[in-house]
Amino acid sequence: METEILARIQFAFTIAFHYIYPPLSIGLGLIMVIMEGMYLKTGDKQYEVLTRFWLKIFAITFGIGVATGIIMEFEFGTNWAVYSRYVGDIFGSALAAEGLFAFGLESAFLGILLFGWNRVSPKVHFISTVGVFLGSMFSAIWIVVANSWQQTPAGYHIVGEGFEARAEVTDFWAMVFNPSSLDRIIHVWQGAFLAGAFLVLSVHAYYLLKGRYVEISKKAFKIALGLATIVSLTQLISGHSSAEGVAVNQPAKLAAMEGHYDVSAPADLYLIGWVDNESQEVTGVKLPGGLSFLVHQNFEEPITGLNAFPKDERPGQVNAVFQFYHIMISIGMFLIGLTLYASLLWWRGTLFEKKWLLRIFAFSVILPQLANQVGWFAAEMGRQPWIVYGHLRTDEGFSQEVSSNQILFSLILFLVVYTMLFLLFIYSVNKKIKHGPYDEAKNPDEFLKYV
Amino acid sequence: METFLGLDYPTLWYLVVGLLFSGYAILEGFDYGAGAWHLFFRKDLSRRIAINAIGPLWDANQVWLIIGGGALFAGFPVMYATMLSAMYVPFMLFLMLLVLRSSAIKFRSAEEMPWWRMTWDIIYFTSNVLISFLLGVVLANILQGFEIAENYSYTGGVFLSFLNPYAIMIGLTTVSLFMTQGAIFLLLKTEGRLHARLTFLLKKGMIFFIVSFAATSLYTLVFLPGVTDRFKEYPISFVIPLLAFLAVANVPRLVSKKKYGNALVFSSLTMSFLLMLVALQLYPVLLPSTISPNYSVTIYNAASSQKSLGIMLTIVLIGAPLLAGYFLFLYKTFHGKVKLDDTSY
């Protein structure tokens, strides 16, 4: 196979695997901050038990996130050397800031968070929890800024020609706050909160169904449900704002998301569909003019379609972009419905009476994860054929001196090691969940030993 | 070109990167070093204590690699891209070993089964030794130069060419240096019989280090004559090898007096002086081309723009004191001998 394709497969695989973990760390981080904060405020030991329990799962998640993240940091250089030289001046400062401000904060406090229970006061421990959480939030900022700059470059100029060409910063803050970064950071944070909240919802729904740890599970479930309801609703706003930005800054991507080909015509909004790139037709359930309405608040307003761009300057995998985008939206809508309904029951005081609802929650853990993944797939595949939108093509960005055999070698290594890592992750998280926050059978009041 | 304290920005950033990699070598030096002794401890409890000695610290120490890599990418993107793509295989192995090492720390003590622990112990030991070895190998390859042609394109071998005799020697020296550093660190964190065993092991480690250090130095002087050019040019710079030598000699002296804290300081200084030696010899080159000096990657042709370097230097000025603060707090919290409790690995 070609070097470029292999490099792309490797990048997609390693980043998708990596992206299972940081959102969980961010989301669980916030929930632990709330739980430990409640403990400090109320002195209720049940919150301490919950914090300690989720900390164990957080530790594994965070660890795998860091380990697979280091690989990403160096993979730009190994597999995308031309791209790295091109964007280093811009991307680099974001990465340096991330390392110093975000990773320094989170990793130093992580030691205290995980091993400091018996060494520091509860207040200092809480500060460490907050430190790790903030660190993970910061790291999301810088990495999304860098990616957003690739989508919507700003605050730069191109220096040099041919091989020597590269982007250089002219305005740091314009680079940081490029047209898409704010919307996308918020959207990514929200996706992360949902990933964490739904893991907590799932595990405690499982306990409630089994009749285990009932009291603390109700507390945890309510914390996570409150968070999930607010976030899934507000994510609509950031999502909409993000799409409006795409309409202005990356029209080819927007057109691909809805399979809209006509150069200039009102565009439809599909609930579900299938794009045939050859015949340029979409089969599915649609709201005519819906996309026009979303972007321009007018069903008749034309939207630039894919055919307005030369064939080699628009995404090739239109159907894939369409599907990934629509899966994300459908999941988002489902989560809104689910959390709103559950919140209604909570308000009525009958939340924990409906077994079927708890069962849905127990399985829903997979949904935000899936939405996070396909959302990124849509964003990244929709940017193609550009690696830096409008400036550098993906097929120019990879390392010219690296052979396909080398990449094949590392790809196989990644497959083996990551498969093992994933199995270990599932095994150990499952074991911790099965074991529970404390050994209920032996000693139902075990958590009181902390009193 | 803009300057600060009389130094131009690329030179300043060269110092920043050098400082970060020294910090990485010193801190992860004792982490990797401690792990490279792992199978020399016989009892399961000893192995657990050794892992928990670095338990709360290793993740933070590893941040120096992450920041160092980021700093290299940020300040010298051409160096970052050229070095990593030219040394594809060793870096991929290095990264994979880092993942295995982290997994071993996390999962080793999670189960009781002997086969489980033995498997992870072997993975942990091997990954620590090989990571240290590969770091030396990369350093040696940089010193010897790469086959870089026009447009920073690497034209050398792709699979095993990085494993030349000099690289193997520096690799072994790095392993021995880290093992010395690791044993001294563990002596500070342990008590009783494990402590006694470590005093015995440390002696072996120091012999290993001094032998490989002497052999490598000799090899360098005989086979890489160019390596001493800079020092002939500026005789004053001979003070650095002299300091390195004194630091090396001071370590066994302090160890025999059981002043392990000071010994750790001096073995850390050894690493810094040796890296300074390399940095001074190379400056302003980052990656010598063996084809033509015109194709070498230097701090000037590899650097980001003045504007960008200025921003990053500002980031460092703000971030470095914060980072120092976190580290002081962390190390203060976990000062003293290892005590296993319910939060330990």
Q: Is B81 close to A84, i.e. CB distance below 8 A?
A: yes
Q: Is A107 close to B60, i.e. CB distance below 8 A?
A: yes
Strand partners, A269: A287
User: Å from A147 to nearest chain B CA?
Assistant: 15
Query: Which of A 115-134 lie inside 8 A of B, CB atoms?
Result: 115-120
One DSSP character per residue, B74-111 reads HH-HHHHHHHHHHTHHHHHHHHHHHHHHHHHHHHGGG-
Q: What percent of chain B has pLDDT over 90?
A: 34
Q: A446: pLDDT confidence band, cut at 50, 70 and 90? A: low
Q: B112: pLDDT confidence band, cut at 50, 70 and 90? A: confident
Contacting residues of A for B344, CB less than 8 Å apart: 115
CA distance A375 to A190: 12
Q: Where are the beta strands (DSSP E) in chain B?
A: 3-4, 7-8, 285-287, 297-298
Q: CB neighbours (10 Å) of residue B161?
A: 15
CA distance A121 to A31: 20
**Is the pLDDT at A388 greater than 50, yes or no?**
yes
CA distance A92 to A168: 11
Domain presence at residue B198: yes
Q: What's the pLDDT at A450?
A: 45
User: How far, in Å, are B47, B56, B184, B201, B300 from residue B190 at the CA level?
Assistant: 11, 15, 10, 14, 47
Contacting residues of B for A397, CB less than 8 Å apart: none
Give pLDDT tens digits for B185-200: 999 999 888 898 999 9
Select from B49, B57, B88 the residue whose CB has the most chain A CBs within 10 Å, as the one to mutate to test that interface: B88
How many structural domains is chain B composed of? 1
Contacting residues of A for B319, CB less than 8 Å apart: 97, 100-101, 104
CA distance B55 to A351: 42
Q: Is A71 close to B91, i.e. CB distance below 8 A?
A: no
3-class secondary-structure state, position A77:
helix
Q: Is B66 close to A73, i.e. CB distance below 8 A?
A: yes
**Is the pLDDT at A447 greater than 60, yes or no?**
no
Q: Is A99 close to B102, i.e. CB distance below 8 A?
A: no
Q: What's the pLDDT at A442?
A: 59
Q: What's the pLDDT at B159?
A: 75
Mean pLDDT, range B26-42, rounded to an integer: 92
Q: What's the pLDDT at A441?
A: 62
Q: Is B56 close to A112, i.e. CB distance below 8 A?
A: yes
Domain presence at residue B342: no
Q: A71: pLDDT confidence band, cut at 50, 70 and 90? A: very high
Helices (H), A211-264: 214-249, 251-257
CA distance B93 to B102: 14
Q: Is B322 close to A104, i.e. CB distance below 8 A?
A: yes
The DSSP code for A299 is T
Q: Could you tell me which chain B residue has the CA closest to the CA of A164?
A: B151
Q: Are B266 and B250 in contact (CB under 8 A)?
A: yes
Domain presence at residue B343: no
**Is the pLDDT at A384 greater than 70, yes or no?**
yes
**Is the pLDDT at A448 greater than 60, yes or no?**
no
Q: Is B158 close to A95, i.e. CB distance below 8 A?
A: no
Which contacts qualify for A441-446: CB closer than 8 Å, 24 or more apart? none
Give pLDDT tens digits for A209-246: 988 888 889 999 999 999 999 999 999 999 888 888 89
User: How far, in Å, are A212, A347, B80 from residue A354 at the CA level?
Assistant: 16, 14, 57
User: Å from A285 to nearest chain B CA?
Assistant: 46
Q: Is B71 close to A99, i.e. CB distance below 8 A?
A: yes
Q: Is B333 close to A119, i.e. CB distance below 8 A?
A: yes
Cα dihedral sign, B10-B15-B16-B17: positive
Strand partners, A273: A284
Q: Could you tell me which chain B residue has the CA closest to the CA of A57?
A: B106
Domain presence at residue B339: no
Q: Is B311 close to A77, i.e. CB distance below 8 A?
A: no
User: Å from A6 to nearest chain B CA?
Assistant: 14
CA distance A365 to B56: 30
Residue whose tokens read 């040019």: B233
Q: Is B330 close to A424, i.e. CB distance below 8 A?
A: no
Q: Which domain holds residue B210?
A: 3-333
Give this complex's ipTM.
0.86
Give pLDDT tens digits for B302-329: 888 888 888 888 888 888 888 888 888 8
Interface A-B: count of C-beta contacts within 8 A: 233
C-alpha dihedral (A20, A225, A237, A184), degrees to nearest 10 = -20
Cα dihedral sign, A330-A335-A338-A344: negative
Instruction: Report cis status (omega within 30 of 0) of the bond before A385.
Output: yes
Cα dihedral sign, B308-B313-B319-B320: positive
Q: What's the pLDDT at A350?
A: 87
Q: A451: pLDDT confidence band, cut at 50, 70 and 90? A: very low
Q: A445: pLDDT confidence band, cut at 50, 70 and 90? A: low
Give pLDDT tens digits for A289-344: 888 888 888 888 888 888 888 888 888 888 899 999 999 999 999 999 999 999 99
Select from A89, A106, A113, A421 the residue whose CB has the most chain B CBs within 10 Å, as the one to mutate to test that interface: A89
Residue whose tokens read 């295995």: B100
Q: What's the pLDDT at A1?
A: 57
| pLDDT, averaged across chain B | 88
Q: Which of A64, A96, A403 sits opposite B74 (nearest CB)?
A: A96
Judged on CB neighbours under 10 Å (0-12, 13-18, 19+), A350 is exposed
User: Å from A7 to nearest chain B CA?
Assistant: 12
**Is the pLDDT at B156 greater than 80, yes or no?**
no
**Is the pLDDT at A422 greater than 80, yes or no?**
yes
Strand partners, B22: none
C-alpha dihedral (B44, B46, B49, B51), degrees to nearest 10 = -70
Q: Is B341 close to A77, i.e. CB distance below 8 A?
A: no
Domain presence at residue B341: no
CA distance B340 to B300: 50
In 3D space, the residue among A167, A137, A170, A139 whose CA is nearest the CA of residue A155 turns out to be: A170
Q: CB neighbours (10 Å) of residue A2?
A: 11
Q: Are A205 and A361 in contact (CB under 8 A)?
A: yes
CA distance B226 to A37: 61
Query: Which of A 400-439 lie inside 8 A of B, CB atoms?
Result: 400-403, 405-406, 409-410, 413-414, 417, 420-421, 424, 428, 431
Q: Is A103 close to B304, i.e. CB distance below 8 A?
A: no
Which contacts qualify for B255-258: CB closer than 8 Å, 24 or more apart? B255/B184, B255/B202, B255/B206
Give pLDDT tens digits for A195-217: 999 999 999 999 999 888 888 89
The reply to whether A448 touches chain B by the CB within 8 Å rule is no
Domain presence at residue B319: yes
Select from B58, B92, B339 the residue whose CB has the most chain A CBs within 10 Å, as the one to mutate to test that interface: B92
Q: Could you tell me which chain B residue has the CA closest to the CA of A107?
A: B60
Select from B111, B124, B312, B317 the residue whose CB has the most chain A CBs within 10 Å, as the one to mutate to test that interface: B312
Select from B48, B51, B59 the residue whose CB has the most chain A CBs within 10 Å, as the one to mutate to test that interface: B59
Q: A92: pLDDT confidence band, cut at 50, 70 and 90? A: confident
Give pLDDT tens digits for B236-262: 778 888 888 888 888 888 888 888 889
Helix (H) / strand (E) containing B201: helix B192-223
